[in-house]
Amino acid sequence: MTDARGEKLAARRSATDPGASLLPVREFHFTAADFERVRKLIYEHAGISLAPVKQDMVYSRLARRLRANNYTTFVEYLAHLERNDEAEWETFINSLTTNLTSFFREAHHFEILTKHLKKISAHAKQIRIWCSAASTGEEPYTLAITVCEAFDSFTPPVSIIASDIDTNVLATAGKAVYAMERVGKMAPERLRRFFLKGTGNHEGFVRVRPELQKLVTFTRVNLLDAHWPNVPGPIDVMFCRNVMIYFDKPTQYQILKKFVPLLREDGLLFAGHSESFMHAADLFRPLGRTVYERADRKC
């Protein structure tokens, strides 16, 4: 869908050239060089490898930033970005990150987590879980629900760090409010126990119970950073699902290498169903169903 300005340009072109293409005319000139420059910048600052097929997506999302900053060309906007406008860098990264998530996504992982929690609780006084791709909060709150059910308590000996590079989604996660359709597939008893149903102006929405929210701390983390001061170790369980698919193999390896000293020797790393860390076999050993342990763990 084009915006009003683009439609006017298309109409004007059709009027003067009856044989002109009916495809929408872009509001801003966007060259292959512009796209390559964007790819280079997002890779350098967030480690994200944009495929060539993402050119239309990049244009659509960044065109909004040109309008917001009153620029008429991508050259101008990218030059502004490179002048180290910290706020705009954050918005640039937020614009190009994708945040697809849901409650109890890849449900088998939470069954495995429950068994692991019960196993380590015998010797661990405080258990730490890190969700490194919190998005809008569905995954970290699913972890909190799983933890409460595993210990049959709203005050389990567990703390959850939920991080993301996108500050917009972290703000949404912190509010802990979701449309009913987001929790529609959840069992009714689980829904009653862990959510408050909205009424009046809030009808059609649910809020995560305060007891559950207390278990989760949201913070911004760029996995490309040399250090992650907001993620204190040691970590018992790491969820890094559907994140590595945005990085090339060398970047994945460097991130996984930094995971190793943070994760306890008997800790678990959970990946997404389409991800494989076989290229980092010296760092992590597969246990099946996209769950990994440290390769140096003594069996």
Going 55 to 50 to 245 to 130, the CA torsion angle's sign is: negative
Quote the pLDDT of residue 219. Answer: 97
Provide mean pLDDT across the span 39-51: 88
Instruction: Read off the pLDDT band of 25 (50, 70, 90).
Output: low
Class of domain 108-294: alpha beta
Instruction: Render pLDDT for 79-125 as a digit per residue (tens, 0 to 9).
Output: 999 887 788 888 888 888 777 788 999 999 999 999 999 999 988 78
Instruction: Render pLDDT for 181-239 as a digit per residue (tens, 0 to 9).
Output: 999 889 999 999 999 999 898 899 999 999 999 999 999 999 999 999 999 999 999 99
Quote the pLDDT of residue 86. Answer: 81
Provide mean pLDDT across the span 275-288: 95
Instruction: Render pLDDT for 124-178 as a digit per residue (tens, 0 to 9).
Output: 789 999 999 999 999 999 999 999 999 999 999 999 999 999 999 999 999 999 9
**Model's pTM, two decimal places?**
0.80
Provide CATH 3.40.50.150 ranges for the chain: 108-294
Q: Which of 37, 61, 67, 190 is catalytic?
A: 61
Quote the pLDDT of residue 4. Answer: 44
Which one is predicted more confidently, 24 or 238?
Answer: 238
Is the pLDDT confidence value at 299 over 80?
A: no
CATH topology of domain 4-96: Chemotaxis Receptor Methyltransferase Cher; domain 1 (1.10.155)
Provide CATH 1.10.155.10 ranges for the chain: 4-96
Give me the sheet containing 127-131, strands edge to edge.
216-220, 158-164, 127-131, 235-240, 263-271, 291-294, 284-288
Instruction: Read off the pLDDT band of 17 (50, 70, 90).
Output: very low
Question: Where is 236: in which H helix or E strand?
Answer: strand 235-240
Tell how strand 177-179 and strand 205-208 pair up. antiparallel
Q: Which of 34, 128, 164, 236 is catalytic?
A: 164
Residue 225 is a catalytic residue: no
Which one is predicted more confidently, 245 or 114?
Answer: 114
Instruction: Read off the pLDDT band of 24 (50, 70, 90).
Output: low
* Half-sphere exposure of residue 103: CA atoms within 13 angstroms, side-chain side: 23
Do residues 176 and 184 make contact, with C-beta atoms less than 8 angstroms apart? no
Residue 164 is a catalytic residue: yes
Tell how strand 284-288 and strand 291-294 pair up. antiparallel
